[in-house]
Amino acid sequence: MIRVVLPAHLKNLARVYGEVEVDVAGEVTQRRVLDALEESYPMLRGTLRDRSTGRRRSFVRFYACEEDLSNDSPDAPLPAPVAAGHEPLLIVGAMAGG
Amino acid sequence: MSGVRVLVGTRKGAFVLTADGTRRDWKVDGPHFGGWEVYHVNASPADPDRLYASQSGGWFGQLIQRSDDGGRTWEPVGNDFTYAGDVGEHLWYDGTPRPWEFKRIWHLEPSRTDPDTVYAGGEDAALYRSTDGGREWRELTGLRTHESGPRWQPGAGGMCLHTIILDPVHEGRIYVAISAAGAFRSDDAGQTWRPINRGLVSGQIPDPDAEVGHCVHRLAMHPSRPDVLFMQKHWDVMRSDDGGGQWREISGDLPTDFGFPIAVHAHEPETVYVVPITSDSEHYVPDGRLRVYRSRSGGDEWEALSEGLPQRHCYVNVLRDAMAVDTLEDCGVYFGTTGGQVYCSSDAGDSWAPIVRDLPAVLSVEVQALP
């Protein structure tokens, strides 16, 4: 199980509390985690990745193990502690706006 | 009619305001979608409990919410607003070509007859339709791919399709308006379009009477007189008596003819409301006084309506989708301000009272008369 922490707005949207968990088959990558997340919570489609380009939305960040993974390739393996379920993938709304 | 329900979209969520037919005591429900921008909330004329809301934000993009119980509960529906086919290019602010890029939905217009059919106006300008209650959206590409499309350019608020009017009489006729492309009309249910901007004169564009390029802020129509259209343009209040074939200016004795919203009385097709603001560079009401202007002659002659509205130190604006009228016997008029006030007049504008004073900046106001 991959642990994911959503930002508050998206917890409300998905109607979840705390962390969510998703199953990912094979190598654990950002793309596969997000695909699994959207499969479980279809209302999140388009909120993390642009609908037309599939790219990360500008003000969405992906952190794990005290590293910023936002600009890593979506097909790069996530850190081993995330893949093992020891650490969560943190999805964060960037500091911006008023 | 037992009462009214006012649907308010704000910079930080949606609010539902309800009252009985006296429109004196109000229940305020919200915020729904707190923290998100809600550009528009609108109701199906065919099913008063069916509501649609456009929820968006810089972080997480565009969502559409649907309620089947008059706004008590909401369900996110489809948000895939893909441009169909060749995306093409329009002009950017600097005059260079730029591909169409979806940003948000400004306006939702439910069908008059089918609660599951709803139109959505987008930025960058495009018109979408759903026939399954908002789950799936299809672009009506004939508008964006009009031969003038590559010459469209955004206004300061973005290149937004903000007005959709479904003609209640002429089958298949739809009007839309785009900042800053102008007004367009389809007579075949949105398949093909033609600009309807003849008579508009805009000093802010190189050719002041060009076919497209006008910053139309809002269109309004009375359902009993579908060939008569009213327009608040960037500057100028305009009127057409032939479905947009030709426009003439009706600004008359307004103190300034710059503004955003325009609305028509529910029972008097020649009674029109606008809220003039100071200028294109000063987006607040003139002289620190909030005044709605009403014409009972279809334009040209206007009277200031100020009873109950702040008449000193007031520097708010009323945005293009933030004015509405109800259909009760004594027509109610409503508007919301960038200062977060929502005002109601239950006597067609003669007097006003605030429903709420301290909401986030109001982006849109719609009202339903409830059975």
The full set of domains in chain A, from first to last, is 2-93 (3.10.20.30)
B102–A51 C-beta distance less than 8 A: yes
What's the gap in Å between the CA of A6 and the closest CA on chain B?
12
Per-residue pLDDT reduced to its tens digit, A40-89 = 999 999 999 998 889 999 999 999 999 999 999 999 999 999 999 999 99
Please tell me the predicted confidence (pLDDT) of residue B156: 86
What's the gap in Å between the CA of B223 and the closest CA on chain A?
36
A13–B61 C-beta distance less than 8 A: no
**% pLDDT > 90, chain B:** 96
- DSSP annotation string for chain A: -EEEE--HHHHHHHT--S-EEE---SS-BHHHHHHHHHHH-GGGTTTSB-TTT-PBPTTEEEEETTEE-TTS-TTSBPPHHHHTTSSPEEEEE-S---
Please tell me the predicted confidence (pLDDT) of residue B234: 95
Average pLDDT over residues B243-257: 98
Please tell me the predicted confidence (pLDDT) of residue A52: 84
Question: For residue B358, is pLDDT > 80?
Answer: yes
Average pLDDT over residues B40-44: 98
Arithmetic mean of pLDDT over chain B: 97
Please tell me the predicted confidence (pLDDT) of residue A22: 97
Per-residue pLDDT reduced to its tens digit, B183-221 = 999 999 999 999 999 999 999 888 999 999 999 999 999
Rounded to 5°, angle at Cα B271 from B266 and B274: 100
Please tell me the predicted confidence (pLDDT) of residue B1: 56
What's the gap in Å between the CA of A38 and the closest CA on chain B?
13
Alpha-helical (H) ranges within chain B are 141-144
Please tell me the predicted confidence (pLDDT) of residue B2: 82
At a CB cut-off of 8 Å and minimum separation 6, what does B349 contact?
Answer: B273, B292, B294, B305, B333
Q: Token match 């100071």: residue? A: B278
At a CB cut-off of 8 Å and minimum separation 6, what does B252 contact?
Answer: B295, B299, B300, B301, B302
Please tell me the predicted confidence (pLDDT) of residue A95: 86
CB B5 within 8 A of CB B71: yes
Q: Identify all chain B residues contacting A57, using CB atoms and an 8 Å cutoff.
A: 59-61
Please name the member of B35, B59, B63 whose beta carbon is closest to the beta carbon of A59: B59
Please tell me the predicted confidence (pLDDT) of residue B232: 98
pTM attached to this predicted model: 0.96
Please name the member of A7, A10, A45 whose beta carbon is closest to the beta carbon of B79: A45
Question: For residue B128, is pLDDT > 60?
Answer: yes
Per-residue pLDDT reduced to its tens digit, B239-248 = 999 999 999 9
Per-residue pLDDT reduced to its tens digit, B301-325 = 999 999 999 999 999 999 999 999 9
Per-residue pLDDT reduced to its tens digit, B52-107 = 999 999 999 999 999 999 999 999 999 999 999 989 999 999 999 999 999 999 99
Give, for B348, the enclosing helix (H) or strand (E). none
Please tell me the predicted confidence (pLDDT) of residue A74: 96
What is the distance between the alpha carbons of residues B246 and B184, in angstroms, rounded to a whole number?
12
Average pLDDT over residues B336-347: 98
CB B77 within 8 A of CB B135: yes
CB B232 within 8 A of CB B318: no
Which residue on chain A is closest to B60 by alpha carbon?
A47
CB B245 within 8 A of CB B202: no
Please tell me the predicted confidence (pLDDT) of residue B340: 98
What is the distance between the alpha carbons of residues A23 and A5, in angstroms, rounded to a whole number?
14
Rounded to 5°, angle at Cα B107 from B297 and B330: 40
Please tell me the predicted confidence (pLDDT) of residue A97: 59
Average pLDDT over residues B244-270: 98
Please tell me the predicted confidence (pLDDT) of residue A98: 54
Domains parsed from chain B with CATH numbers: 35-318 (2.130.10.10)
Mutate to test the interface with B, among A11, A12, A13 (most CBs of B within 10 A): A13
